[in-house]
Amino acid sequence: MVNPQAGEAELIVNGTPYALKLTLGALAGLEDSLEEGTLVDLVQRFEQGRFSARDVLALLAAGLQGGGHELSREALASAAITGGPMQAAKVAADLLVRSFTVPDSL
C-alpha cells in the first residue's frame, strides 16, 4: 500500500503493484535523463498538458528507482501497465504533485 503523504504513488506493471517515489537521487537521475530542459520545465509541461510519452516514461522509471525497485526503464517501456498510457500519465503527474507539494503540517 502506498503512502501519498510520503510522496508515493502506485503503478501496476505486468499485474504487480509498485510503490513509486521521487527521492532526491531519483530526481537527479531524472534531470540527467531529460532530453530538454530542467525539472521545472518538466513540471510546466505537465501543468500545460504538453508532456510527451518520453516524459511519462522517464518519470515512472525515476519513481521506480526511488521506490527501490529493480525494473529498468527498458523493461517498463515494453511492460503492460494496468490502465494503459492514460493511467501511466496520471501516475506520473501524481508523482510530480506529491514530490513538489509541501504538506499542510509543515
| DSSP category for residue 80 | P
pTM of the complete model? 0.90
Q: For residues 18 and 67, is the Cβ–Cβ distance under 8 A?
A: yes
Q: What's the confidence (pLDDT) of residue 20?
A: 97
Q: How far is CA 91 from CA 96, 97, 106, in A?
A: 9, 10, 25
Q: What's the confidence (pLDDT) of residue 71?
A: 94
Pull the grid cell for residue 93.
503527474
Partner residues linked to 9 by β-bridges: 20
Provide the residue-wise pLDDT of the chain in tens; the chain has 106 residues.
899 888 999 999 999 999 999 999 999 999 888 877 888 899 999 999 999 999 999 999 999 999 999 999 999 999 999 999 999 999 999 999 998 877 665 5
Q: For residues 41 and 55, is the Cβ–Cβ distance under 8 A?
A: no
